[in-house]
A and B are shown apart, each in its own frame.
Chain A
């Protein structure tokens, strides 16, 4: 067998294959990236006959902030333990501020209680960034409690990032329940 000939042929095949595969790569990347539009908007538009659950969803979320009561526990009687955030946000909503004012009032009345404010993120972010985001959310809540008269040495913050979701779903409603800060009695 003539080795050179074999190698030459192999070389040509390789070049040819390379051209084909190069074209194929470009195409496959494009087709995979483009059609992936937001899944939530398409379901809303398409499933008009199933208006009921969507209305329900709207009632549970304002923008993408959770406003329902599922998963919400109590720091004390009549004092909700958690507040919710929009995606990638640390801003406290009007409802969140109201909850935190109740927490502050109760903490002022119970001066010996110390708390841990846990900060959480949903699963739609990288782990390390979410740890930072959780810390930011917990501090947003802590700062508000301090504004309403709770001294900083009574409040510890602890970020869990995306490590401790309360809802294991992979949908916007579940994620909205997981973007939260929770005030927990520490003593």
Chain B
């Protein structure tokens, strides 16, 4: 990506967290209980910086915009109640220096975030330095903070990095805000959809289209470093697995077998792509080593074997197969041995995706005409259905394994009108279901890992 964060400078933690007991803590393993009241003060900038930033980015009040990015991220977790800026009693610059904690306690804020934006010139180039502090209002002390310097256009990413820090500090879990989502943008009538690869920030901003829509594209998935994407393209009416470098735009076929290749995913080390090959009416799972270009067949069964996904340690693969008569979920060693069925509930199971923590597999289930997104343990026990709808599928995990993103299609009316496809997210708890904003209709989301 072009704007790969030029974190040239100092990731300077000027405050050492010290012994890590903080007074405010959130347990995110539960549903939405009382969200924690939090105030995000507009970040302060001096007059010179304001002018400089206006010139660089054409944004009048960047400090306010950054605080909104953070606020929006935190609010959407369902864990925080972001308080109205109108109610703030203290000026941003003074609050950042030393908050008057009584003022913030008065509006029932338990946590306060303050910050400062300064423009800088390094080697005759413009940069911005963004500093933030996290305050415990009840404990009347600062609990965390950092500053970093970057090119001005990266300002939203800094907001996401601050959000990640706050989330991490208050929940004890790693964040997921400085991430991107790759998906398929859709337009046009249901019978003639035009599909393009699109990438955006996790919060729906900075959308870029990576293909033009001339050919059908499906199921894009990131590699671990988020610079490569593997997907299915119908280029020249030959459905094949492709590899796309999203920094250079270079594309190549990786699944050039006689037959159709589809359902690709990277191995956790990014060195292999696992996919299905359909030939003569039979789909098997293959793996291709990207360094040696050696490809190897892993399943050998006359049924449909597809939708493979690696465990995070790379030792196992989960996939779906209809070898029992209907689609069910299986797990095997990554060399193809020891195939074992794990789904035994009522209904049809598909699209298994191993969680980044390794303990769960997310899936799509079809039962009695409804589609569910659910999770089960890797031995198939503990099945839990998170959401039910007319049609939804293709779960993808947030990098911290706390949220699942998927797509949902609507039922059309008597005249076949009213079709739409949208991205949705839901917490692992089964709470906090949310529409994910996209510029167009969207499907097949894949969540990146945390960016560098």
A123, CB-defined interface residue at 8 Å: yes
Are B367 and A3 in contact, with the CB atoms below 8 A?
Answer: no
Across the interface, A129 reaches (CB within 8 A) one of B216, B304, B372, namely B304
Flag whether B290 is at the interface (Cβ < 8 A). Answer: no
Cβ–Cβ contact B416 & A167, under 8 A:
yes
A131 in contact with B189 (CB, 8 Å):
no
Contact B33 A36 (CB under 8 A): no
Among B219-271, those with CB < 8 Å from A are: 219, 232, 237, 239, 260, 262-263
- The distance in angstroms between the C-alpha atoms of A127 and B385, with both chains bound, is 20
**Is residue B276 within 8 Å, beta carbon to beta carbon, of the partner chain?**
yes
- 0 or 1 for each of A131-143: is its CB under 8 Å from B? (1 = yes): 1110110011001
The answer to whether A124 and B260 touch across the interface, beta carbons within 8 angstroms, is: no
Which of B138, B364, B416 is within 8 Å of A6, CB to CB? B138
Q: Is B71 an interface residue (CB 8 A)?
A: no
Is A76 part of the binding interface, using a Cβ–Cβ cutoff of 8 Å?
no
From the candidates A33, A123, A169, name the one contacting B409 in the complex (CB within 8 A).
A123
Residues of A within 8 A of B193 (CB): 163
Q: A3-B138, A17-B34, A133-B304 are in contact. Are A158 and B239 (CB under 8 A)?
A: yes
On whether the beta carbons of B216 and A135 are closer than 8 Å, the reply is no
Query: Is the beta-carbon distance between A21 and B30 smaller than 8 angstroms?
Result: yes
**Given A29-B385, A123-B391: A169 in contact with B307 (beta carbons within 8 A):** no
Contact B364 A163 (CB under 8 A): no
A14 in the interface (beta carbon within 8 A): yes
> How many A residues are at the interface, by size bracket?
35 or more
CA distance A185 to B96 in the complex (A): 72
User: How long is the Cα–Cα vector from A80 to B412 in the complex, in angstroms?
Assistant: 28
Asked whether B18 is an interface residue with its Cβ less than 8 Å from the other chain, the reply is no
**Bound form: Cα–Cα A3–B419 in Å:** 53
Interface string of A155-168 (1 = CB under 8 A from B): 00011100111111
Are B262 and A131 closer than 8 Å at their CB atoms?
Answer: yes
Closest to A140 in B: B281
Say whether B191 contacts A88, CB under 8 Å. Answer: no
Is A128 an interface residue, CB under 8 A from the partner? yes
Residues of B within 8 A of A32 (CB): 388
Does B419 contact A128, Cβ atoms closer than 8 Å?
no
Question: Chain B contacts of A125 at CB under 8 A?
Answer: 327, 350, 366
Which residues of B sit under 8 angstroms from A25, Cβ to Cβ? 31, 430
Q: Is the CB of B416 within 8 A of A168?
A: yes
Taking CB atoms, residues of chain B closer than 8 Å to A174 are: 416
**B306 lies within 8 A of chain A by Cβ:** yes
**A11-58 contacts to B (CB < 8 Å):** 13-14, 17-18, 21, 25, 29, 32-33, 36-39
Do residues A124 and B391 form an inter-chain contact, with CB atoms below 8 A? yes
B339 near A: Cβ within 8 Å? no
- Bits for B341-364, please: 1 = Cβ < 8 Å to A, else 0: 000000000110000000000001
Interface status of B411 (Cβ within 8 A of chain A): yes
Known: A88-B326, A139-B280. A128 touches B416 (CB 8 A): no
A176 to B236 CA separation, bound complex (whole angstroms): 28
Knowing A13-B34, A37-B368 are in contact, say whether A126-B307 is a contact too (CB < 8 A): yes
In-complex Cβ contact of A127 among B283, B367, B393 (8 A): B393
Residue pair A165, B260 in contact (C-beta under 8 Å): no
Per the bound structure, the CA–CA distance linking A129 and B326 in Å amounts to: 11
Query: Quick check: A169 and B369 within 8 Å, CB to CB?
Result: no
- Chain A positions within 8 Å of B417 at CB level: 168
Chain B residues near A33 (CB-CB < 8 A): 367-368, 370, 372, 385, 388
Min C-beta distance of A23 to chain B, whole Å: 12
Contacts of A90 in B (CB 8 A): 281
A135 CA to B232 CA, complexed, in Å: 15
A135 to chain B, nearest CB (A): 4
Asked if B14 CB lies within 8 Å of chain A CBs, one says: no
Measured CB to CB, the nearest residue on chain B to A123 is: B391
Please pick, from B260, B364, B391, the residue contacting A135 in the complex, using a CB distance under 8 A: B260
Asked whether any CB of chain B lies closer than 8 Å to the CB of A94, the reply is: no
With beta carbons under 8 angstroms apart, the residue of B304, B366, B409, B419 that contacts A136 is: B304
From residue A182, how far is it (CB to closest CB) to chain B in Å? Answer: 13
Residue B164 is within 8 A (CB to CB) of chain A in the complex: no
B257, chain A: closest CB distance, angstroms: 13
A127 touches B219 (CB 8 A): yes
Q: How far is the CB of A22 from chain B (nearest CB, A)?
A: 9
A133 to B31, alpha carbons, bound, how many Å? 39
Among A32, A125, A143, chain B packs the most CB atoms within 10 A around the CB of A125
8 A Cβ contacts from A147-187 to B: 158-160, 163-170, 174
Q: A14-B33, A128-B219 are in contact. Are A168 and B412 (CB under 8 A)?
A: yes
Q: Please, could you name 16 A-B residue pairs with CB atoms under 8 Å apart, sorted by A?
A: A3-B138, A7-B23, A33-B367, A33-B385, A33-B388, A36-B368, A38-B368, A38-B369, A126-B307, A128-B306, A128-B307, A129-B320, A131-B263, A136-B281, A143-B281, A159-B260
Which 4 residue pairs of A and B lie closest in terms of their CB atoms, listed nearest first?
A139-B281, A168-B416, A168-B190, A126-B350
**Interface of B with A (CB < 8 Å)?**
23, 27, 30-31, 33-34, 138-139, 189-193, 216, 218-219, 232, 237, 239, 260, 262-263, 276, 278, 280-283, 304, 306-307, 320, 322, 326-327, 350-351, 364, 366-370, 372, 385, 388, 390-391, 393-394, 409, 411-412, 414, 416-417, 419, 430, 443-444
Known: A132-B276, A159-B260, A170-B411. 12 other contacts (CB 8 A): A6-B138, A123-B391, A125-B327, A129-B350, A131-B306, A132-B262, A136-B283, A143-B281, A165-B191, A168-B191, A168-B417, A169-B414
Chain A interface residues (CB < 8 Å from chain B): 1, 3, 6-7, 13-14, 17-18, 21, 25, 29, 32-33, 36-39, 88, 90, 116, 123-129, 131-133, 135-136, 139-140, 143, 158-160, 163-170, 174
